[in-house]
Amino acid sequence: MARVLSCIQPTGETHLGNYLGALRNWVAGQHEHDAFHGIVDLHALTITDTPGVVGTNSLQLAAMLYAVGLDPEVATIFVQSHVTEHSQLGWIMECQVSYGELSRMTQFKDKSEKRQADFLSAGLFTYPALMAADILLYDTDEVPVGEDQRQHLEITRDIAIRFNNRFGDTFVLPKAVMPKAGARVMDLQDPTSKMSKSAATDAGLISMLDDPALVMKKFKRAVTDSDNEVRFDRAAKPGVSNLLEILAACTGGTPEALAANYTQYGALKVDTGEAVVATLAPIQARYNELMADPGELQALLRKGAEKARSVASVTLARVQAAIGMTPA
């Protein structure tokens, strides 16, 4: 069974796009692979400097991952900083990658340009080295990545190959795989843009924790068009197509087939909102249970950290032995 690693930053509330686009596939995939899922709180330090925020966000994200269906008895779910081997291997990876390689990373260029007036953390520059450690630490076979993350996987492979050439075969070379296609969820107010926490307003975003009344309000106000024809056509009718795709993802139908059931936008908006409310209800109930019992949540995370560390510690020891470091 291939070992697959997927990580997520604790940078705020999870939304419907995260769930239908990715997390639901994580839940299905835990039964198909040896699944490792990291809450990468150390990476979040490059953009968060308010005390307490990273810790709170990490706990809330963990509760959400369990609530959507990740099973701690099946998958390994852990917080990055709870497995200290990440930081230790991260430094070793920094010593195996060049300044030039890091400076060519497009995400660093994009993010640094956006933050010119802000404090620019050196961690943002060395981020790919820690990401390489995250991946290589678990002898990962496959990493599901979109096009925006492919460069990070490529530099991880380059670092691993360089290390193996210098010190002998030590690392498994991970392979990039396209993630299974999830629902393509767009902003309800701007259906040409993906649903995102970084949008100017949250009017078009459905949080996984939005109450039913707010969900219905947002769907009833969803942007469509003026011709009142219900059909699935992303290019010509992005707003209507977004509603159909969300409805299909929540009910198991297809957007094209569902379109035939409607002659008016109002009914489509109501049905889609109700389907989302029904989808979120059990997730919200489990999330609230976990957040009301921090002891249980912490116990689950300790168990995940122990499982992760049982693999990570072996890898780090192998790396240190290959280099010839003095054993502790």
DSSP string, 282-328: HHHHHHHHHHH-HHHHHHHHHHHHHHHHHHHHHHHHHHHHHHTPPP-
Q: 35 phi and psi, to 5 degrees?
A: -90, 130
As a whole-number percent, the residues of the chain with pLDDT over 90 amount to 81
Report the pLDDT value the prediction gives residue 108, as an integer from 0 to 100: 73
Q: What pLDDT score does 194 carry?
A: 93
Higher-pLDDT residue of 182 and 257 is 257
Task: For residues 158 and 86, give the distance between their C-alpha atoms in angstroms, rounded to a whole number.
Answer: 18
Kindly list the distances between the CA atom of residue 267 and the CA atoms of 72, 205, 227, 278, in Å, as whole numbers in the listed order: 40, 20, 15, 16
Alpha helices, H only, 95-149: 99-103, 106-114, 122-136
Please report the DSSP string for 39-66 in residue order.
E-HHHHTTT--STTHHHHHHHHHHHHHH
Question: Which fold, 212-288?
Answer: Tyrosyl-Transfer RNA Synthetase (1.10.240)
The domain spans of the chain are: 3-182+294-323, 212-288
Q: What pLDDT score was predicted for residue 122?
A: 87
On average, the pLDDT of the chain sits at: 93
Model pLDDT, residue 179: 77
Write down the pTM of the prediction. 0.92
Where residue 106 falls among pLDDT bands split at 50, 70, 90?
confident
**What are the pLDDT digits (tens) for 29-56?**
999 999 999 999 999 998 877 898 999 9
Does residue 110 surpass a pLDDT of 80? no
| pLDDT for the residue numbered 71 | 97
Kindly report, residue by residue over 141-155, the tens digit of the pLDDT.
999 987 777 888 999
User: Does the pLDDT of residue 86 top 70, yes or no?
Assistant: yes
Interatomic CA distance for residues 160 and 174, integer angstroms: 9
The whole-number pLDDT of residue 113 equals: 67
Give Rg (Cα) of the chain. Answer: 21
Q: What is the pLDDT of residue 200?
A: 80
Please give the CATH topology (third level) of the domain spanning 3-182+294-323. Rossmann fold (3.40.50)
Question: Same CATH topology for 3-182+294-323 and 212-288?
Answer: no
The per-residue pLDDT for 49 is 75
Question: What is the Cα 47 distance to its own chain's centre?
Answer: 16
Give me the sign of the Cα torsion angle 153, 155, 158, 159: negative
Of all helices (H) and strands (E), which one includes residue 8?
strand 3-8
Mean pLDDT over 259-264 rounds to 95
d(CA 283, CA 271): 19
pLDDT of residue 9: 94
**Pairing mode of beta strands 76-79, 3-8:** unpaired
Q: Could you tell me the pLDDT band of residue 281, with boundaries at 50, 70 and 90?
A: very high
Residue 300's contacts (CB-CB under 8 Å, 6 or more residues apart) are 62, 66, 72, 77
Best CA proximity match to 33, nearest among 78, 2, 7, 6: 2
Distance CA 175, CA 152 (A): 12
pLDDT above 70: residue 82: yes
Give catalytic residue positions: 111, 194, 197
